[in-house]
Amino acid sequence: MSVMVLEFDLARPRMRFRVMVIPTPVGPWRIHVRIATTVTQPALPRLLQAVEPWTARLIQRLALMVNVNDFNADLATLHYQEYQAQPRLVAADQHIGKYRKWAERFYERPEEPR
């Protein structure tokens, strides 16, 4: 299981967004995906403090709807992905080799035939 987290801040309105995508393998070629979204705001003036939680919840729900919609749009691409032992890389992928070497420690090596 892994968790992907994206955080970003908006200057106006002042808000911090956090999106968490949690894919969980449930069988061969099958995963369940959970998406969570949080929105936080810095303290507002007293007059707006009563409205702040309601506003944050509304924005959080809208952000979740957008994230789920974007993820659903990616499903067609994800469905047809296939493993390639030696994929072609582009210039932007220059660091992927280092990452793959680092990630190898988390995978069991298949036993070699005797």
Q: Is 99 helix (H, G, I), strand (E, B) or coil?
A: helix
For 69, the domain range is 4-103
Decide if 112 is inside a domain. Answer: no
What confidence tier does 49 reach under pLDDT thresholds 50, 70, 90?
low
Assigned domain for 24 exists: yes
pLDDT of residue 43: 61
95 in any annotated domain: yes
The arithmetic mean of pLDDT across residues 60-77, rounded, is: 80
The verdict on residue 113 lying in a domain is no
In a domain, 19, yes or no: yes
pLDDT at 50: 60
For residue range 36-47, list pLDDT tens digits in order.
Answer: 888 777 665 555
* 59 inside domain: yes
pTM for this entry: 0.50
Look at the chain and report how many structural domains it folds into.
Answer: 1
Residue 37 CB-density burial (10 A; 0-12 exposed, 13-18 middle, 19+ buried): buried
Rounded-to-10 torsion of CA 77, 80, 83, 88: -60
Share of the chain above pLDDT 70, in %: 82
Neighbours of 19 (CB within 10 A): 20
